[in-house]
């Protein structure tokens, strides 16, 4: 492979025990390798929690940590070299786990450098990945960059030590890419003047070969299929979505809602479905892999809906657009950088079931007007991973040229 050797540090990266964690990082790295010919490797921390709240797990997790330290070895995840390193988290190690994360990676650094003498570090999130990258870059003498996705970003500044770690990592980076304009504005608000210049906008990407147009799509406004894909967590607001769907179904009795995902709110979701009398119209798909998500978007979706309270981006939106489907999302940060005109769908206020229902009803009524090919062209022309890979490759090379000139 040709070009700069880039070490990606990403807590969010797929693993056998969590295959749905950070697919956007994996797909970005894979595209850099396959489309741009870059030699990009990944290191990803795996948590071994030591918590007095779960004392029965302490011994097992300690053994897992020691075994992981002894068995550090590069492996491959769908074409990408990755090293999973264990780190301790919890009250017995540190009240903040960002430092143990960094220190665990530092212990692995000599072996990483022997196997892979990288030229540049790309961290995904300012903390813990950027905080670790800051120290690694100093020790090795290479520049580092950060892509910030954390939702909400404010969680990285809630405590003084955490705030210091996060802002120091951002300030020291050669470039910080925020995945939405709203996130760029939020991150930049912590700095002034020229200290903001390296904080820029660069969106996430979509694999347009996997997420593609269906062979046939003939939506029926009397039987629309709505689709949600995401974690069943409070910030995704699936309970509010059910309240809104109940209002849609009162107007369109044959409407259906497909829910793909899992999480801590699953029992509450099942209860709300029963309370609202939606058992016959809501289909639960559980956790779905990437291929199944793409199939659902092609075959079980007329309108994709994202009802979140907050989103730094919203990868599922561009995946649905790449499949030629209109989307309805809340104005919660990231979607405003994606749904930029009415030919793509509609935005509505967050956390308002009545407003979401009205947006869904208006979008369903307009289904015959949407041009699937035009929607896909927008997604491909704006968010295709190949475009992102070209941009990142040019940025990497420019940063390394600048770094060489500065060193001279």
For residue range 353-372, what is the model confidence (pLDDT) as tens digits?
999 999 999 999 999 999 99
**H/E element holding 82?**
strand 80-89
The reported pLDDT for the residue numbered 276 is 98
User: Lowest-pLDDT range, 90-104, 161-175, 274-288?
Assistant: 90-104
- Strand pairing class (225-229; 303-306): parallel
User: Lowest-pLDDT range, 4-8, 29-33, 149-153, 281-285?
Assistant: 149-153
The reported pLDDT for the residue numbered 94 is 43
Contact 147, 159 (CB under 8 A): no
Mean pLDDT along residues 228-247: 97
Contact 227, 297 (CB under 8 A): yes
Nearest to 35 by CA among 305, 382, 388: 388
CATH no. for 5-205+384-407: 3.40.50.2000
Distance CA 86, CA 106 (A): 12
pLDDT band at 386 (very low <50, low <70, confident <90, very high): very high
State the chain's mean pLDDT as an integer.
92
Domain residue limits, the chain: 5-205+384-407, 225-383
The reported pLDDT for the residue numbered 142 is 97
Longest CA–CA separation in the chain, Å: 71
Domains 5-205+384-407 and 225-383 share a fold: yes
* 3-class DSSP string for 84-124: EEEEEEECCCECCCHHHHHHHHHHHHHHHHHHCCCCEEEEE
Encode pLDDT of 171-202 as tens digits. Answer: 999 999 999 999 999 999 999 877 789 999 99
The reported pLDDT for the residue numbered 55 is 61
Distance CA 314, CA 293 (A): 14
Give pairs for 22-28: CB < 8 Å, separation 24+: 22/124, 23/290, 23/315, 24/149, 24/204, 24/205, 24/315, 25/124, 26/77, 26/78, 26/80, 27/205, 27/207, 27/385, 28/204, 28/205, 28/385, 28/388, 28/389, 28/392
Encode pLDDT of 297-339 as tens digits. Answer: 999 999 999 999 999 999 999 999 999 999 999 999 999 999 9
CATH 3.40.50.2000 fits 225-383, yes or no: yes
Question: Which one has a higher pLDDT value, 408 or 343?
Answer: 343
Question: CA Rg, the chain, in Å?
Answer: 22
pLDDT band at 58 (very low <50, low <70, confident <90, very high): low
Encode pLDDT of 67-126 as tens digits. Answer: 767 678 999 999 999 999 988 776 544 446 688 899 999 999 999 999 999 999 999 999
The reported pLDDT for the residue numbered 406 is 57
Encode pLDDT of 241-271 as tens digits. Answer: 999 999 999 999 999 999 999 999 999 999 9
Distance CA 325, CA 304 (A): 7
The reported pLDDT for the residue numbered 92 is 44
The reported pLDDT for the residue numbered 3 is 81
Distance CA 392, CA 146 (A): 12
Q: Which residues pair with 283 in a beta bridge?
A: 258
Mean pLDDT along residues 39-48: 92
Distance CA 178, CA 204 (A): 9
């Amino acid at each position: 492979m040709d070009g700069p050797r880039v070490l990606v540090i990403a807590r969010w990266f797929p693993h056998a025990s969590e295959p749905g964690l950070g697919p956007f990082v994996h797909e970005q790295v894979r595209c850099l390798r396959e489309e741009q010919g870059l030699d990009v490797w990944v290191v990803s921390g795996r948590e071994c929690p030591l918590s007095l709240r779960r004392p029965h797990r302490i011994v097992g997790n300690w053994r897992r940590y020691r075994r992981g330290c002894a068995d550090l070895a590069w492996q491959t995840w769908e074409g990408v070299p990755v090293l999973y390193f264990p780190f301790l988290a919890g009250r017995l190690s540190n009240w903040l786990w960002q430092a143990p994360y960094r220190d665990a990676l530092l212990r692995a650094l000599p072996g990483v450098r022997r196997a892979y003498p990288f030229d540049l570090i790309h961290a995904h999130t300012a903390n813990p990945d950027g905080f670790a990258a800051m120290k690694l870059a100093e020790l090795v003498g290479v520049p580092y960059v950060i892509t910030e996705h954390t939702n909400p970003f404010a969680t990285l500044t809630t405590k003084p030590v955490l705030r210091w770690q996060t802002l120091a990592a951002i300030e020291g980076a050669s470039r910080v890419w925020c995945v939405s304009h709203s996130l760029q504005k939020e991150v930049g608000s912590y700095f002034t003047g020229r200290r903001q210049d390296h904080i820029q906008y660069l969106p996430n990407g979509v694999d347009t070969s996997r997420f593609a147009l269906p062979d046939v799509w003939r939506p029926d406004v009397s039987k629309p299929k709505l689709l949600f894909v995401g974690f069943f967590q409070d910030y995704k607001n699936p309970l509010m979505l059910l309240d809104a769907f109940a209002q849609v179904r009162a107007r369109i009795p044959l409407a259906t809602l497909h829910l793909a995902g899992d999480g801590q709110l699953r029992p509450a979701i099942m209860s709300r479905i029963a309370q609202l009398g939606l058992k016959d119209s809501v289909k639960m798909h559980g956790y779905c892999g990437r291929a199944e998500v793409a199939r659902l978007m092609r075959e079980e979706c007329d309108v994709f809906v994202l009802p979140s309270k907050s989103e730094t981006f919203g990868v599922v939106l561009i995946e649905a657009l790449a499949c030629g489907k209109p989307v309805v999302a809340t104005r919660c940060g990231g979607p405003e950088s994606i749904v930029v005109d009415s030919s793509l769908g509609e935005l509505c206020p967050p956390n308002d079931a009545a407003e979401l229902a009205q947006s869904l009803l208006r979008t369903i009524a307009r289904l015959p007007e949407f041009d699937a090919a035009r929607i896909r062209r927008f997604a491909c022309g704006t968010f295709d991973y190949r475009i992102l890979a070209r941009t990142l490759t040019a940025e990497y090379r420019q940063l390394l040229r600048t770094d060489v000139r500065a060193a001279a």
